[in-house]
Structure 1
Amino acid sequence: MTARITLEQELQELKQSVKEMARIAIENLKEGLIAFKQNDFDKAKQVMKNDELVDNLEENIAKQAIKIIWKEQPVAKDLRFVTGILKLITDIERIGDHASDIAEMTLHLTQTRNNRVMPITTQMAEIIESMVLKSIDALITLDEHLARTVIDEDDQVDELFSRLIYKITEELKKDEIDPNEAIYVMMVAKYFERVGDHAVNIAEWIIFITNGTHKNNQIF
């Protein structure tokens, strides 16, 4: 078996490991969002338990990537791929963390929710879930165009977050939302925003892998 074939196999195995890590993180995010919307405490607790799986995978993938660099000494696009993976797995791990954070916040909320606030958080949840899914699809296919659509969508999340803060402030002034609910919903929304930011980071590292630029700076 030639060195090139061995390297290609190891790169494919690395990609599959990242795909599995992303699958679990996305599943946790979906379950965390469902727990939040449905006030499902049991589901929320399970999401929090599952976060350790993502953490362990991040550590294993980092070791796998470093071993490839040390053993195979990849160059050019292959080196960009391994380097990009080392960077973006941190963002996948953080998405898993925020899924757990969202689940934890759910445990502090009551069954009764403000019906004028929830539609905004629901819309945010739908957008960030779409962004994360697209960012991982872009990674698997190394699709630069798809990665750029993820970056563009982040503006919608920021706009919705601003709308939510304004809406909650107005509801508090009118004494039409429980202050405890207001605090935890704003915290959940902040986690939504951060998940969107991590999806953008993944997209930016995919662009780096494909053409060597990161945030419009040519690296190699």
Structure 2
Amino acid sequence: MNRNTYQTALNQLKESVIEMADQALLNVRNGLKSFETNDLVLANNIIKADDQIDMMEEEISKQALRIIWKEQPIAQDLRLVTTILKILTDIERIGDHASDISEISLHLEGHQFVRDLSLVLSMAKHAEHMVQSAIEALVSEDAVLAKLIIAQDDIVDREYREMIQLSAQWIKDDVDDTPYVISIILIAKYLERVADHAVNIAEWVIFLVTGSHKNTPLF
């Protein structure tokens, strides 16, 4: 590759990661929608769509490895390719959590219980924002933004603890509602994990900029 072609390949690698993250987050949104609306068709579609996320992960990995094999990048470029290879697993897991949420919808077929999901929706909003910001930090190679994302995880953790407390009260008030409430707890846990994956991505962005991961110098 000449220099222009090489730079184009790096830019395409970033664009592919953005596309994969956008698709994973769309699946999370639709998975949550399938639960809210008891839409079993949508739930099944999200589960099938997870295959696309897996294929994207494989193709982006191949893109990254081709750059390493052909160009033997050094310094910042090598850190970029390494970072992308690391965060692909986190993005793929976000897609898995969307599928997990949709599976819950299928297991609750026929249940008509209704609960206030505002806290879960708030968790979803914060977690989604964290992932989007983490990808933005990757593209702009912004360690300051990455550190802000890590700090935001406290918000999602607090909301998750509140959701557990609220769910315990719901079960106490109506034991027959237990299966539905447990499903809400599981969804909240998956959203908490989505936020954790955003933190992981942010930590690798800091590595991209500084060469250190979790305060450990790597190169």
TM-score by length of 2: 0.92
User: What is the aligned-residue RMSD (CA, Å)?
Assistant: 1.6
Moved over 3 A (4+): none
Q: Match of 1:114, as an amino acid? A: R
- Indicate yes or no: 2:113 matched with 1:112: yes
Instruction: Flag structure 2 segments of 5+ consecutive residues without an equivalent.
Output: none
SS at match of 2:107: coil
1:3-23, Cα deviation, whole Å (9 max, x unpaired): x33321221121122122112
Tell me the equivalent position of 2:131.
132
Tell me the equivalent position of 1:37.
36
Of the structure 1 ranges 166-175 and 179-188, higher mean CA displacement relative to structure 2 is found in 166-175
1:102-181 alignment runs, 5 A limit: 102-109=101-108, 110-115=111-116, 118-175=117-174, 178-181=177-180
Of the structure 1 ranges 77-86 and 4-13, higher mean CA displacement relative to structure 2 is found in 4-13
Q: CA deviation at 1:194?
A: 0.8
Count residues with an aligned counterpart: 217
- The 2-side partners of 1:37 and 1:200 are apart by 27
Q: CA deviation at 1:177?
A: 6.0
The 8 Å contact of residues 212 and 219 in structure 1, kept in 2 or not, is answered as yes
Q: CA deviation at 1:92?
A: 0.5
Q: CA deviation at 1:139?
A: 1.8
- The 2-side partners of 1:183 and 1:49 are apart by 24
Tell me the equivalent position of 2:192.
193
- The 2-side partners of 1:64 and 1:146 are apart by 26
Tell me the equivalent position of 2:22.
23
Q: CA deviation at 1:113?
A: 1.7
Q: CA deviation at 1:172?
A: 1.7
**% identical aligned pairs:** 48
Q: CA deviation at 1:86?
A: 0.4
Q: Match of 1:206, as an amino acid? A: V
Q: CA deviation at 1:159?
A: 0.9
- The 2-side partners of 1:33 and 1:211 are apart by 36
Q: CA deviation at 1:140?
A: 2.1
- The 2-side partners of 1:172 and 1:25 are apart by 32
- The 2-side partners of 1:50 and 1:104 are apart by 13
Distance 1:150 1:39, change over 3 A: farther
Q: CA deviation at 1:204?
A: 0.9
The 8 Å contact of residues 137 and 143 in structure 2, kept in 1 or not, is answered as yes
The 8 Å contact of residues 139 and 206 in structure 1, kept in 2 or not, is answered as yes
1:16-35, Cα deviation, whole Å (9 max, x unpaired): 22122112112112212222
The 8 Å contact of residues 127 and 157 in structure 1, kept in 2 or not, is answered as yes
- The 2-side partners of 1:36 and 1:149 are apart by 31
The 8 Å contact of residues 132 and 196 in structure 1, kept in 2 or not, is answered as yes
Tell me the equivalent position of 2:99.
100
